[in-house]
Amino acid sequence: MQIRVQKTTHSRLGSVDFSDLPFGKIKSDHMFVVDYSNGQWHDARIVPFEDLMLSPANSALHYGQAIFEGMKAQVDEQGTALIFRPDQNIKRLNLSADRMCMPNLPEDLFLKGLKQLIQLDIDWIPSGEGKSLYIRPFMFATDDSVGVKVSESYMFIIFTSPVSPYYSKPLKIKVADKYVRAFDGGVGSAKAAGNYGASMLPTKEAYAQGYHQVMWMDGHEFKYVEETGTTNVFFVIGDKILTPALDGNILDGVTRKSCIALLKEEGATVEEKRVDINEIIEAYKNGELKDAFCTGTAASVVHIELFNYKGQDIVLPPVAERKWSNFLHNKLDAIKGGKSSDTHDWIVEVVNENIGVSA
Ligand SMILES: Cc1ncc(COP(=O)(O)O)c(C=O)c1O
């Protein structure tokens, strides 16, 4: 499919203070848009970032057929834009689409539009410690009639945003004991907008008590750890690294799977299994709990300072002593920024994208 390109005549780049990048607030000049109707994707285009016109009867607003992804790009020392594992994001977007009864987007169209967009807005990629261009692909229903049914039309968009790290310090986390994020047979493994809407109240309550995030537990017994609201989680007990297995209720995180690969390569023992919170508490009491950390695209690898379980604070060792989370943080950052060789083929370099002419 051809991608039509309309460049902005009023770039906002000059007005951005790149030393102050509150997460997600600033949007780059262009966006990639594709429409779906009559059973096919059509009218792929890169256009100036602008507001959308939607019917008040827009079915995504009423019935929630809306899914999204999150990725990041950086520039290397030669000025080439590098995107981290976008193939994984389009695969996951399409899995989310399947679960939400939405159409799949062709992977090659996604990658082509993404690369052209990044090339066009390459000057929006910030450099400096922890900074990157956050990439937000999303798809939503666009039928304009009420009545609960599968929409027949959709819009897919990618826009980007220069950002600083999502979390600026180690996290204080509240272990869920009342609310549930996902349940067997539900949509927990989909990156569906509604999952995040449902997490707002519990997160707000945790925030009011001094925590940054909720650690979600299984919905049967509140016994098995799942993930946080924006990340997967890992624990280090003695010389073993544990992370909850993909059970259909948690997101198959791109950062999670990258961390597992890097850890195994370093000879670490990683167990993907049901992680019983009692095992963690026991290890804490025995002095065996060495580390706990969160992984995600927006967050990167972020230390957990403490988590609160049934009123008890489980306080983790000082950050300087955390061997594995520090290793992962540094290693992933180096790979993403092109400072460490990409032995896994995780990086997509944006070179010679044909912009301005339909290709
Ligand atoms: C609920 C949830 N879990 C885990 C993750 C981490 O996934 P990834 O590493 O692909 O960003 C995210 C972030 O997208 C998330 O929102």
Q: Do 142 and 46 meet the contact criterion of CB atoms below 8 Å apart?
A: no
- Whether the predicted pLDDT of 356 surpasses 60: no
Q: How far is CA 49 from the centre of its chain?
A: 21
pLDDT of residue 117: 98
pLDDT digits (tens, 9 = 90+) for 277-304: 999 999 999 999 999 999 999 989 999 9
Q: Supply the DSSP string of 1-70, one letter for each residue.
A: ---EE---SS--GGG--TT---TTT---SEEEEEEEETTEEEEEEEEE--PPP--TT-HHHHH--EEE--
**Which residues have C-beta atoms less than 6 Å from ligand 1?**
70, 227, 229-232, 251, 253-256, 295-297
Taking CA atoms only, the protein residue closest to ligand 1 atom 3 is 231
pLDDT digits (tens, 9 = 90+) for 313-347: 999 999 999 999 999 999 999 999 999 999 999 99
Ligand 1 atom showing the smallest separation from residue 255 Cα = 9
Taking CA atoms only, the protein residue closest to ligand 1 atom 15 is 230
Taking CA atoms only, the protein residue closest to ligand 1 atom 16 is 230
pLDDT digits (tens, 9 = 90+) for 46-62: 999 999 999 999 999 99
Kindly report whether the global pTM for this prediction surpasses the value 0.95.
yes
- Whether the predicted pLDDT of 357 surpasses 70: no
Residue to mutate (ligand 1; options 138, 203, 297; most atoms within 8 A of CB):
297
Average pLDDT of the chain to the nearest whole number = 96
The CA 231 to ligand 1 mean position distance, Å, reads 5
Taking CA atoms only, the protein residue closest to ligand 1 atom 6 is 296
pLDDT digits (tens, 9 = 90+) for 205-217: 999 999 999 999 9
Give 43's Cβ-side CA count (13 Å radius). Answer: 10
Euclidean distance between CA atoms 211 and 224, whole angstroms:
20
More confident residue, 36 or 352: 36
- Whether the predicted pLDDT of 359 surpasses 50: no
**The three-state (H, E, C) secondary structure of 249-276, written as one string:** CCCCCHHHHHHHHHHHHCCCEEEEECEE
- Whether the predicted pLDDT of 129 surpasses 50: yes
Tokens representing 218?
């299984």
Taking CA atoms only, the protein residue closest to ligand 1 atom 4 is 231
Q: Do 235 and 275 meet the contact criterion of CB atoms below 8 Å apart?
A: yes
Euclidean distance between CA atoms 251 and 220, whole angstroms:
18
Domains of the chain: 4-164 (3.30.470.10), 171-336 (3.20.10.10)
pLDDT digits (tens, 9 = 90+) for 69-128: 999 999 999 999 999 999 999 999 999 999 999 999 999 999 999 999 999 999 999 998
Helix (H, G, I), strand (E, B) or coil at 331: helix
Nearest to 8 by CA among 356, 358, 287, 294: 356
CA distances to 247, 269, 289 from 277, rounded to whole Å, are 16, 19, 12
pLDDT digits (tens, 9 = 90+) for 151-197: 999 999 999 999 998 888 999 999 999 999 999 999 999 999 999 99
